Amino acid sequence: MQGNAKVFILMAAMTGLVMALGWMLGGQGGALVALLLAGGMNFFSWWNSDKMVLRQQGAVELNPQQGGDLYRLTADLARRADLPMPKLYLLPTEQPNAFATGRNPENAAVAVTQGLVRSLSRDEIAGVIAHELAHIKHRDTLTMTVTATMAGAIAMMGNMMLFTGGRDDRGGGLGAILAMIFAPLAAMLVQMAISRAREYEADATGAQICGQPQALASALAKISQMAGRTLNIPAEKNPAAAAMFIVNPLNGLRMDRLFATHPATEERIARLMALNGGRGFAPERPSPIPRSGGRPDDGPWGRG
């Protein structure tokens, strides 16, 4: 409940930023228009978020035959989480990573990368998928879509103030310049704070779903290490989606510790180990999905 209260407060702050910028642009009427504009953008993103993100990332949907054991594993974890089976997608990148999207549990999708399937053990993959199912269960996909859209609206209004100067009685040109610079920055920081709060919750719930906190901890350690040296080109082209991934996918090029979209991996692992009674974990051997059951990278998108 504490995490949900924090998210509510942060989203209220984001809404306040939208209205404040609208007020600086056009007084009370501007604040109302800004709020309505943000609401319209949120509805559009809420309805289309899964399609937009999956298309941007080059995702390929897997049916039960193509997905093989990976599909069956996801279906089993969804049953444990008391969720409908989400659509399953494969992302054509060698960086191990994953994300969930969709406006509600009935219209959700889980996407994993080729690199994840090839690099992690079956138990570790189960931990990652359970983490993403936890996001769906908590409806974090909706929360992050709304905050990303509002952050985009704030940035747009900040740019508008550069050309309009805002209302003369609210600080003139200097006020407009300060708002243009600091409002989008504040929105970005709020968005990141929300993302970090949701990751801790998803780790804890994901560990409960898969029943193996140590497997999820081991997966996070591997993904974090490999993501830092493997370029995820679709994510680099669409950095606004970085907060959706289980581990920041932009580590290949960007120095973004200051503006981190995720909690420190070490802290996430420590919390998972506390759930595991402090026993630690031993990283498992890779290549978990048996070819006899069909692997996603057996398909044409998995060939080098």
Distances (CA, A) of 257 to 67, 109, 185, 190, 303: 35, 28, 15, 15, 34
Do 178 and 50 contact (CB within 8 A), yes or no?
no
Q: CA-to-CA distance for 95 and 67, rounded, in angstroms?
A: 19
User: Is 138 assigned to a binding site?
Assistant: no
The pLDDT of residue 259? 55
The pLDDT of residue 90? 97
E strands of 10-129, at which residues?
A: 60-62, 87-91, 98-102, 108-113
- The set of catalytic residues is 132
Q: CA-to-CA distance for 68 and 61, rounded, in angstroms?
A: 13
The pLDDT of residue 293? 46
Question: What pTM was computed for the model?
Answer: 0.74
The pLDDT of residue 161? 64
> How confident is the chain (304 residues) per 10-residue block, as mean pLDDT?
56 70 73 73 68 86 95 97 97 94 90 96 97 93 70 68 55 58 66 77 95 95 89 79 85 52 89 78 46 46 35
Report angle CA 137, 141, 144 to the nearest 5 degrees: 135
In angstroms, how far is CA 121 from the centroid of its own chain? 22
